Structures are given as C-alpha cells and as structure tokens.
Amino acid sequence: MGWSRAAILRVPGSSSVHPFRSTVVAAVAAALAGVAGLGLLSSALSTGEGGSGGDVGWLQPAARSAVVGADGLLHAADHKAASDAATAAADPATAKMMKELKQAHLQSMPPLPVGHLFDRHPGYFTVHTGKGLASGRLLLEVPKAVMDTPFMVLAQVTAGDAEAFLSGVPANTVGRTVFALRKTKGHPDTLDLYRPLMDLRAEKADSPMAASLREGYFPGWVRTFPVRSIGDSYLLDATPWVGGGMDVVTDNDGRPAPLSWERGHRLVGATAYPRNVELDVQMKRRSLDGLGESVVSPENTFSTQVRYSIVALPDKPMETRAADSRVGYFGTSFVSADAIDGGRLKRTFANRWNLANGPIVFYVDPTVPAEYRRTVKRGVEEWEKAFARAGHPGAIRAVLPGDKDWPADYSMGDARYSSINWAPNLGPAYAMGPTDADPRTGEIFKGVVVLTANFVQSAASDVNVAVSPIAKDAPAGDESLWSMESDELQMRARSLRMLAALAADEADDVDAVSRPAVGPSTDKANGHMMPMVGASAAGVMAAVIEQVLRYLVMHEVGHVLGLRHNFKASASMPFAKLSDKAWVEANGTSSSVMDYLPMIVRKNPADQVVYASPTIGAYDYSAIRYGYGDFKSDDARLALAQSVAMTTPFATDNDGAGVTGADPLTSYWDLSGSPLEYHAESMAVARKVLRISKASTAKTAGSPWLDFGVVAQDALWSSVLSLAYATKFIGGVVPSRAASTGSPSSASSSSSPVTLVDVATEKRALSLILRELHPRNGLLGSATVREYGAHMVARKCFGAGGAGLPTEQCLGVAAKPLVSELRTFRGRVLGALLVPSRLARITEATVLGGSRRGLTVAALLRATTATFFGAAPAPAAEVDDLQRDAQAQWVGLLLNAVNASEQHHPLAVAAVAGELSRIHAMAASAAGEDAHLQGLAILTAPFHF
Ligand SMILES: [Zn+2]
C-alpha cells in the first residue's frame, strides 16, 4: 500500500547554493538543481500518487502511525501523526488536495528563461523578453538584495492618437507609484508587491510614536508573484502585471485596469539598464467619458503606446530643503507620526534636482520639428542665467538630435532622459511639464515638457477649434492649460489671429496672413522680434511663433525645475516698462515666466517691442536661488523668502486667478502692475482690429468675409475677458504672504497682510466696464452692430462635436446674430460683476475699510442701471432695441440674484431688491404707451414699494 510511504522533502544538493552565473544555461541548471518545489512536483506528476521515488531516491518510507478506516480514509493513530506530512500523502483526500495544489503551483510558476525562447537584457531587474511562441511574455529577475527597497513605476504615452492620448504625457492614472517587493511571509515561493508607506513617517526612530507605527502599521500588498529562486535573484513572470497596467494605469474611471492582456495589451519591446527597466506596451483603452463625438473607433477604445519604466530610487536620499509658501515650489509632503508635541504635523520639501549628480539635461526629442529646435534650446538655457546667479553655472542645458553628446540609446520615455516632446493633436493648444520625484526627498529625477503642435496651427485655423471635453479628464496634477477656464483656452489663437489681422494693415499679401508661414526665417534666428511696421505678415507671424514658443518652453521647463505657477508675477512689472525694449529684453514682461502671460498685442506699433516675454524675470532668479542656492543658515534662506514676498510676490493655482477671485493682481492673462491700463488698451486694440480687418477685407479682392467673422469674434471675446478681469478690482482684496516685519503699528497699512483695492482704482474699473457696456456707444453696444453686423458671417457645420474635427462638414454660411452674441458677452461681464463672492466682499469691505468710503453694492447696482436706462428712461424714439435688450437682461439678472438669495450675502439681497424697486418705480412712471417699459414694470412689480 502506498499510503505508508510519504514524500519527505529531501532534494539532493539543496544545501548548496549554486553561484549565479550570467548565462541562461547556468540559470536553468541552478533552477533545476536548486529549487526544491520543482523537483518534488516533477516527481509527483511522473509517478502519480507521490511516487515510489525509487528511481531518484528522494522519498523515504515513514513510520506507520495511522490506519485506514472502514470509510477508506486515513484515521490518525494520534493527532500529531495525522498532521505529519510524512503520512498525509497516503490519505486519498489529502493526496488529491496536494495534487491540485501542486498542479496549480506548477501552472503559476514562471517558465525558465531558456535561450531559444527568451532574450536576456541584464540590468537593475534583468529582463527576459519572449520570442517565437513565447513572444509577448516578460520575465524579470529581481535581485534578492533589493527586497523591501522602494522603486518607482513610471508610465508615459510615447505614441498617441492625437486626440485622447498625446505622446509625452504621463499615462499613469494612479498617483502612488512607489512600490517594493518582499518575500511573502509563510509561503516559500511567492513575492508580495506592496506600496511602502510614504505619507506617514516617523522622523525619530526612537520616538514612542515610531514604535507605535512599527507595531500598528501593516503595508498590505498589491499583488503576489509566484517566483523561483535563481542564484541571488528571484525569477517572476511579469506578463500579467504589465497587462494589468502595472498597478499605475487603470481604466479611466479609476477602476483597476479591466482590460485583460489578451484583449487590450501587448508587449512590443523591453530593455534594462543598471538603474532602470524600460518596457514598451501597446494598449487599448476605453474612451473617456464625455468625449462624445471624438470617439473614433466603433469598439469605443483608443489604441496607444505606453512606456513603463521601473526606476531605482537614489541609493543616497538627497538632502531636503523645506518648502516655503512665499516661494512657489511643488512639494513632497508627509505627516510626521512622532510630532506629538503640539508642533505642526505636516512636513513639505521643495521638489528640486540634485545638482550633485551633474547638470540638468533636456533632450529635445526628434518629434520637435527641426526648425524649432534651436528656439526650444534657447528656452531651456534661459534658466542657466538663474543657476549661474545662484552659484551653479552650467547647471542646465539642452541637447539636440545630432549633437555630439546625443545619447545613442535615447528613446522617448526612458527614465534616464528628460525630454521636450512635440505632440500632434486635434484638440486645444496647450503645453505641460510634469515631473517624477523621489517621494522620500522631493528629488526630481525626470521631467517631460510636452508642446502640442496646435499652438502653431491654431493661428492659421479657419475655425475656432472647439474646446474638447477631454479637459474634464485631465490627469490630476498636470500642468496643462486645461486648468484654465474654457473661455481662455483659445487665448493664444485669438491673439495670433488678431496680430495677423493688424499685420495685414502693413502687408501687401493678405493671403500670407490668413495662411502664415510658420518657420522663423534666418534673420530672426537671434531671437529678436521683427518690428511689425514694414514687416511682411508672414515675417511677423514667424517672429510671434518663435517668441511664444520660447516663452512656453521657459514656462514648462520652470515646472520641471520644480516651480509652480506665479499668477501674481506680472503685477511686479510697471506698465510703462512694457514698451521699453532694453528693459524688456533684460527683465522680461513679468517678474516670472511662471505666470500665464498673454501674447502681447499693442495698440501703438511703437510700443510693440516683443510679442512674448523674452527672458526669465526677477522672481525666477530668486526662486531658483531659494531652491538651488547654498545658504549659510536657515535664517538666510528665510530672509530670501521674505524679500521675495516683499518685492516680487508669489500667488498660485489656489489663489483665485480666475475672474471671480478676490485679488485683482493675481490673474491669468493680464500684464503689469496696472492691469486696468492693460485692459483699457486691450479694448482699444479690439476696436482697431475690427476696424482694420474690415477695411483690409473690403479692399482686397478674394479676401473671405468668413475670415473677418472669425477675427471680429476674437476681438470681441478678448474684450469681454478684459472686462471680466477688470471686475476683480471691484471689491478687490489683495492678501500678502509676507511675514510680519515686526512693526507693532497696526495703523501702518504696510504692516497688515490684507489690503483693499483703493477707492479711486475701484471707480476707474467700474467706469471702464460701464463705458464698454454702454448700450449705444460701448464696444458691446449698438454702434458696433451698426458698423460690423452686416459684415459678419460665420460657418455653419453639419454634424455635432468640435468644429475642428475633420468629421465635420462646415459648408454652411450664416449671418452672425451679433445682437444676440453681444447679449451673451454682456451677460458674461455682468455675471462676473454680480457673482455672490464679489457682492459679499464689497459688503465686508465697507465694514473692514472703516473710514474708507468704497463702493457699496447699492451704488454699484445704481451705476449699472444708469448705464442701461440713463438717469431716467428716455423717450421710446431715442431707445433702440439693443438698449431695450440690455435693460431686460439686467432686470433678469437682478431677479435671478434675488431668487438665488441663499447664495448671496443678506445685504446684497436687500440691495438688489431695492434696485429692482427703484427700476419698477422708474419704469412704471415713464411707461405710458411704451410696451417695453410696461413689461419691465410688470416683471419688477413684486418689488413695488
Ligand atoms: Zn504652467
């Protein structure tokens, strides 16, 4: 009876560890000889029930210590004996289980990386890529020495489909990308993949909380790999891991990747280096929610290629530098577990490069068109000036394809190379600069700058490229212009078209304007602008594109260096200096390129000294010094931060840079410390663009009125944005990040961190806004309709979706309903004016300001009503329907505000009700036979007083 014999695990030679040799043959031999489980299973399968073992002599008879009962099952003579492995195999049920376990184990075991099936790539993890029938299989050899050593898994799109997935952008949908492997406790042949705890740390190893953390924390596991031991490594089959997105790429709704390897992924290349492993995977991903008409395939999936990089973290963690809210660095934060002394719990380090590892090098990817590469290089190397001043000359440079130090093994996505990529796209023009940093210290080790080709093409676009719904699904933490309000997405394209229209005034060849050549010609290779006057339109456009590209590269590279946005930076620049060529070339158009700086379009050509900021600014120098300079003491570093707050202040994405934010100096797309002057000039530019574009279209045979329609729309929209931003001065509040200067005088305004916009500036802003809203003479008034309405035609498209998509046919032409469009524009400005947070701020300012006699909500409403009605309603014959339109719109907005009273400050609600009552009285008394005024009186009747 076989039951008396059992499998005692005794493997010949198992006590000796075979030294690992570098050939696959040696690995196979080592595995066969050294892996106990394999020997056992081979034997078990070949001999059925445990095997006699006679041929190999592995199995020995065990002591007879149990008997088979009448039921045919093994009954232990004693409990200990029954549980003994020596007797277990004799029991049919136990043997069946063992057989199943062994088969399952065998099925999960990684195959050996034999040479005729796998190619070997030695590296941090040695990679074996399958070939022939094993094609698509991926084996990794993980050194036993790196157990519990954190590594990162990066994912980057390296070939996109131009709409949903752009080459160069991060592909990971999961923020926590640090992993480690450990031997599974209690299981001989598996490794656990887990995410090491990074967000909660014990700073002092001997603190009571550190001990508590050690006792109480369980890191869990993400997945388990069956492995076999080969010398000093574990061999594992990574095929299903990669197919599942390596636990960093999930489906777009955030669920773990549901697409199986078979259905949605294929490995197309892999290699390894001493500190990183590189895997190329093509995958199908499901369409983004809301992408709607942009879904291009009937399967509702997109195909894309992703580079995964497994990257060793630095052996020696970089020395950290504390972040400071006065100087804007991206940060790495954790909560200190042992700070139980009442101190602050959260620690944040500035993310920065470790210059001890040598200079920061950007590789200009071959996707960047050759004609732009030198411009891109100049944009990168502008930052060298700041490093030089911070004591690190030569700390940053760009390498171009073909340069002698261009790496032979370069590829996009390789974790060793930071790159600048050029992505073809159909959607909005944008750029981004994401980085990867050591979560322990904030050490940045890789950055990517992605520029979309569309920013060049959008100038020449014959349609307004629609804002893609993809914007909603932008990856968290990205730095794209997706974060802007959608109105502003087309800012650059609008400015480009307006510049082109202005240039047309000077140029003979109008066709060259509407279809500008985009390459800078050699006479602009030194980066200086081409003066607009006398230049060809194509030449202007080439200069514009070169300058804007250089600015974009400076901005995105700034992100890769660790810098956050600084939306207050432009406020440090005096308005008058914007037309001082020497000043601008030395100092830029803003104290930082980390602001969203508009393309500059000046009314007076003599003021047009640049189109975009040509260099980094004073804040940028200080910020680089803060992050990278050497300081004798912490006090010296803090003194620098304080001086930044006092001279070139910082404000960022959380500071309300949109039109409803409180601080009028912290805004996207404005310029100078006197934004009202900038906005006022923008209105003048818009009028000029309308006038010139209409005239040049009229006088040039063959010039399409459709193009005038686009440019006119650009001019009006940019005016609306200017007016909307001007509203920020009404009830504006300017906070400061500067620490107390130690001056005890509370009477001194310089010692308090909150400043209200002064009354004169507030009034100036309101009069600018109301002047342009004037229903007769304002830019949004009937004079504009009379002058341009009969010349504005627009394309009408067949099919839904973005107008920029080639699937749409836009052969239709319609007259633009300018009166209706102006109502929409007016509604934007009035909506910004009446936003609940603004009315609340105005109300608070009247208390906070004390003797300051600023605008009240009632005065604001009264002035606006007067703009639309006049001091008293005029006789019907003197009022046109656009004015009536504006009056009805204004009444409607006030009624809406009262209806949404729970959103508004109580005093604002009362003021609005009072204004409606005033309007009612005015309309009722003047109505007579005027049906319009009668109607307004009826609408406002509930407020009859
Ligand atoms: Zn940015």
CA of 131 to the centre of ligand 1 (A): 43
CA of 567 to the centre of ligand 1 (A): 10
Q: Does 131 share its domain with 172?
A: yes
Considering the domain boundaries, does residue 30 fall inside one? yes
Q: DSSP assignment, residue 329?
A: B
CA of 481 to the centre of ligand 1 (A): 7
Q: Are 640 and 626 in contact (CB under 8 A)?
A: yes
β pairing state of 443-452 and 418-423: parallel
CA of 594 to the centre of ligand 1 (A): 6
How many angstroms separate the Cα of 12 from the Cα of each of 56, 68, 84, 87, 680?
Answer: 9, 32, 22, 22, 90
Phi then psi for residue 68, to 5 deg, are -85, 130
CA of 556 to the centre of ligand 1 (A): 6
Q: DSSP assignment, residue 529?
A: P
How many angstroms separate the Cα of 186 from the Cα of each of 190, 414, 415, 802, 840?
Answer: 9, 37, 35, 57, 63
Considering the domain boundaries, does residue 48 fall inside one? yes
How many angstroms separate the Cα of 846 from the Cα of each of 769, 791, 836, 894?
Answer: 21, 47, 16, 21
Considering the domain boundaries, does residue 622 fall inside one? no
Q: Does 69 share its domain with 122?
A: no
CA of 491 to the centre of ligand 1 (A): 15
Considering the domain boundaries, does residue 255 fall inside one? yes
CA of 874 to the centre of ligand 1 (A): 50
Q: Does 123 share its domain with 270?
A: yes
Q: Does 149 share its domain with 255?
A: yes
CA of 630 to the centre of ligand 1 (A): 26
Domain count, the chain: 2
pLDDT (tens digit per residue) in 105-133: 888 899 999 999 999 999 999 999 999 99
pLDDT over 70 for what percent of the chain?
76
CA of 478 to the centre of ligand 1 (A): 9
Q: Does 214 share its domain with 93?
A: no
CA of 371 to the centre of ligand 1 (A): 24
CA of 176 to the centre of ligand 1 (A): 22
pLDDT (tens digit per residue) in 471-510: 222 332 222 222 333 334 456 667 777 777 776 654 433 3
User: What is the reported pLDDT for 410?
Assistant: 96
CA atoms within 13 A on the CB side of 465: 25
CA of 167 to the centre of ligand 1 (A): 18
- Please report which confidence band the pLDDT of residue 33 belongs to, taking 50, 70 and 90 as the band edges: very low
CA of 432 to the centre of ligand 1 (A): 6
Q: Does 170 share its domain with 85?
A: no
Query: Pick from 313, 330, 360: which residue ends a domain?
Result: 313
Sign of CA pseudo-dihedral 288, 293, 294, 300: positive
Nearest residue to 501 via CA among 676, 718, 675, 669? 718
Q: Does 99 share its domain with 134?
A: no
In terms of Cβ atoms closer than 10 Å to its own Cβ (0-12, 13-18, 19+), residue 26 is middle
User: What is the reported pLDDT for 299?
Assistant: 61
Phi then psi for residue 944, to 5 deg, are -60, 130
How many angstroms separate the Cα of 766 from the Cα of each of 482, 730, 763, 891, 929?
Answer: 30, 7, 5, 19, 34
- Taking the alpha carbons at both ends of the chain, their separation in whole angstroms is 109
Phi then psi for residue 795, to 5 deg, are -75, 145
Considering the domain boundaries, does residue 937 fall inside one? no
CA of 729 to the centre of ligand 1 (A): 25
CA of 471 to the centre of ligand 1 (A): 15
Considering the domain boundaries, does residue 826 fall inside one? no
pLDDT (tens digit per residue) in 330-367: 999 988 877 666 566 888 999 999 999 999 999 999 99
CA of 304 to the centre of ligand 1 (A): 25
pTM for this structure? Answer: 0.84
CA of 554 to the centre of ligand 1 (A): 10
- What is the span of the domain harbouring residue 181? 118-313
Q: Does 100 share its domain with 142?
A: no
Query: Pick from 85, 108, 131: which residue ends a domain?
Result: 108
CA of 379 to the centre of ligand 1 (A): 14
CA of 46 to the centre of ligand 1 (A): 65
Does 79 score more than 90 pLDDT? no
CA of 527 to the centre of ligand 1 (A): 22
Considering the domain boundaries, does residue 240 fall inside one? yes
Query: Pick from 313, 341, 371: which residue ends a domain?
Result: 313
Contacts of 354-359 with C-beta under 8 Å, sequence gap 24+, read: 354/314, 354/318, 354/443, 354/445, 355/392, 355/395, 355/628, 356/318, 359/394, 359/395, 359/396, 359/397
Q: Does 208 share its domain with 267?
A: yes
Q: Does 198 share its domain with 290?
A: yes
Q: Which helix (H) or strand (E) holds 823?
A: helix 818-833
Nearest residue to 127 via CA among 211, 224, 233, 39? 233
Q: Does 103 share its domain with 128?
A: no
Considering the domain boundaries, does residue 170 fall inside one? yes
pLDDT (tens digit per residue) in 772-787: 999 999 999 999 999 9
Q: Does 287 share its domain with 157?
A: yes
pLDDT over 90 for what percent of the chain?
54
CA of 597 to the centre of ligand 1 (A): 10
Does 795 score more than 50 pLDDT? yes
